[in-house]
Structure 1
């Protein structure tokens, strides 16, 4: 069973968890801009530079060091930085101040890798924040660094003279080792573990000109091992220290993901389970426990995504393993798993940390915040918020700040035996963008807060409210558009996804 800790309200964009069950994540803050939050085991700390226009996450190591980037204002570029609880924020030397620079990984020695986006050049910083060149031999132009292990070996990709991408490594001295394309048109190296096992993908074109992606593992002793399931497209999202990989299999139209496991010893294992229509495996720890999600098709045509864990390849819906969850809470995606089995997951209440064994903080646990919608001026809006508390004898108070200058207002609380619900109503005097902040406090003074951005607007004129002709071919085509997902999964930085889109998908 898992205890629940609220980390941030939705939407959550990326999140990581380390061996100490500390978590770092991107979230939309009260100011409606993208922030980075760090959970130290007891509280969430905003590690974003004050007043920044946007801050995005790079990586987290097992010592709680965050690597990230921020854009202070327009027209400023993205600037890389590291953050620690002891020393705060330190900006890293920028290889090209006129270009966006993104970090992609940090190892436990504090060495960071990333790339400068204008010249597309891989870079590395040492633990003292010094910029270390990652060299390109003659004939190579662009390069990208995606991952770094504890031996200062960096994995990534570089563009050769023919314009195709090669999977490459850089050794501790910064010299490039060309792994080539493994007989394909292009290749990229992604995760690398401390055995110097590398995961990546190749790209080829079939006779019809369709792009086929094929995941692989490579090490110097055994060479390359391709993931060989049925279907043309496979991608690895995570690799553990036992050289076990998880990822997703996609059909040619990139819809209907199917989760898989792969290792040299066991081969390919299909993690997808009926009656689900789609699945994704995002992380695996060194014990071989896998986390991800599966999607269920509902009778009304809608779909429901649920967070899953696979232990010894047995799939378990994590929603069935929660200790005293608040009413209405639904876990939708398990994003990462620590060495001890704690999990960071998305839910309809935002990002939560699941602590194996039921241990958690003594603060109230909040469920989803719901509003009567649409919210109109001069019409009462109703808010409900469920909560739970493992200390069943605690009583609770709640406040809601509707964001229109009226200030925090006491809200009604109904509770019984560790379960409760907050209820409040409010009437906005006019249209606008507002941030609703709701807080629940127990008798010991512990408070959990959530918030939601809401648009209050007048109803559209009748001619617009009637809507466009949704039976038109264009409207029908739009509604039937297939779901698309990142090729490599949530653990791979967006910069690597950009590289794949630009280099492998020419």
Structure 2
């Protein structure tokens, strides 16, 4: 009887996961917009961002950890991993804004990254753009060769790359001189974009030792991939919406009444966050889940908020973004709260278990 009751309770909870739409969210204020900018959110609930131009990690409990600067100069955060590793990059001010220094900060130490460029001209660098859940690194490396910009500065060519054990691995291009690795999953599959032989920008997926064109329009760039192989790509224009690509099939993230969408991140459950844009209006944060797009403002458990921008989502569904009450805006965390019905079903299941236990004791 106990086993039977447990099965009933479990079945009820499983059904509750499919019977309801996207969960409601509680909202927690992190910091006023403008004084701080948060960029990445990992599965431990920690975020990276900037306070007064300096990089920080904000732990789930709110504790701040200072991220070191490269050569004591303003340093950009390029990636953040579940293991706390942070990708770092420093560029020179003004044109041509060449990358001057890069590194990976983990376990309290800044590690230099290898490069594919062997020409001794100081323009060689490798940049980590994404860290997978299990710590794999994908990004970009300068290679030999380059071109001169309008100011006469040499800009090096770059290739998509992965980094491991102090080595850099060249992923090549789709025929042109430039490519960039923008996302990687736990299986080591990399996505990004590359110039082809006709200098068209094309989105790619790199797996099994080969780079494959995704077949999206030239203006699209793939930048994120989850462990299910779902690839997220933006158009980079105000005329076309973000898409999810999976094995040749695409899903357009569009909504009636809005001109286009721009996505920010996809998690391993297939949830996507981003912004919808209407003519003459700013962005409105959205969540795509179970095949539906919902405005995040309508999912909050506190009235009066709008979600103006969205930066990231982790596997638990926690969302990092900018929330506003009128003109008063702040960086916020949106945390899923259980549906009331879930509590009811859980209570029913526990009651069945208790009843079965009492009956078993009487019979013994």
Do they fold alike, i.e. is TM over 0.5? yes
Q: CA deviation at 1:100?
A: 5.8
Cα shift at 1:281? 0.8
Matched, 1:273 2:255: yes
Aligned CA RMSD, in angstroms, stands at 3.1
SS in 1 for 2:297: helix
**Does the CA contact (< 8 Å) of 1:168 and 1:176 recur in 2?**
no
Q: Which residue of 1 aligns with 2:295?
A: 317
**Is this contact kept in 2: 1:237–1:281, CA < 8 A?**
no
Please state whether the residue corresponding to 1:4 is helix, strand or coil: strand
| 1:114 to 2:88 alignment | yes
Q: Does 1:13 align with 2:37?
A: yes
CA shift, 1:34, in A, is: 4.0
Change (3 A) 1:340 1:191: same
**1:70-149 superposed matches below 5 A:** 79-80=69-70, 97=71, 102-117=76-91, 120=100, 122-125=102-105, 127=107, 129=109, 131-136=111-116, 138=118, 141-146=123-128, 147-149=130-132
**Which residue of structure 2 aligns with residue 25 of structure 1?**
49
Q: Does 1:227 align with 2:209?
A: no
Rounded Cα–Cα distance in structure 2 between residues aligned with 1:37 and 1:125: 12
The 8 Å contact of residues 126 and 132 in structure 1, kept in 2 or not, is answered as no
- Of residues 165, 168, 179 in structure 2, which corresponds to 1:187? 179
Aligned in 2, Cα 1:170/1:357: closer, same or farther, shift over 3 Å?
A: closer
| Residues 246 and 261 in structure 1, CA contact (< 8 A), matched pair in contact too | yes
Number of residue-to-residue matches in the alignment: 293
Do residues 245 (structure 1) and 223 (structure 2) align? no
- Residue 2 of structure 1 corresponds to 25
Aligned positions of 1:223-372 closer than 5 A: 223-229=210-216, 231-250=217-236, 254-263=237-246, 265=247, 267-297=249-279, 302-325=280-303, 327=304, 329-348=305-324, 349-357=329-337
Contact 1:294/1:306 (<8 A) preserved: yes
Give the equivalent residue in structure 2 for 1:157. 141
Q: 1:305 to 1:201 in 2, by over 3 A?
A: same
Find the aligned partners of 2:211 and 2:255 in 1 and give their Cα distance. Answer: 29
SS at match of 1:346: strand
The whole-number CA distance in structure 1 between the counterparts of 2:194 and 2:161 is 15
User: Any gaps of 5 or more consecutive residues in structure 1?
Assistant: 28-32, 49-67, 70-78, 81-96, 360-506
Q: Distance between the aligned counterparts of 2:163 and 2:106, measured in 1?
A: 13
- Pick one of 149, 174, 192 that aligns with 1:200: 192
Tell me the TM-score normalised to structure 1 length.
Answer: 0.51
Asked if the contact 2:160/2:173 (under 8 Å) is kept, the reply is no
- Deviation of 1:174 after TM superposition, in Å, equals 2.2
- Give the conservation status (yes or no) of the 8 Å contact 1:120–1:144: no
CA deviation after TM superposition for structure 1 residue 249, in Å? 1.2
Q: Is 1:167–2:143 an aligned residue pair?
A: no
Q: How far apart, CA to CA, are the structure 2 residues paired with 1:41 and 1:151?
A: 20
What do the CA deviations read for 1:279-315 (whole angstroms, capped 9, x no partner)? 1111111000111110122xxxx31421101113311
Structure 1 or 2: more helix by fraction: 2
Give distance in 1, aligned partners of 2:55 and 2:100.
Answer: 25
Q: Is contact 2:102-2:112 (8 Å) kept?
A: no
Higher relative contact order, structure no. (Cα contacts within 8 Å, ≥ 6 residues apart): 2
Give the conservation status (yes or no) of the 8 Å contact 1:167–1:180.
yes
Unaligned 5+ segments in structure 2 are 1-23, 93-98, 148-155, 340-364
What does residue 437 of structure 1 align with? none
Kindly tell me: are residues 38 and 183 of structure 1, through their superposed partners in 2, closer, same or farther at Cα, counting changes over 3 Å?
A: closer
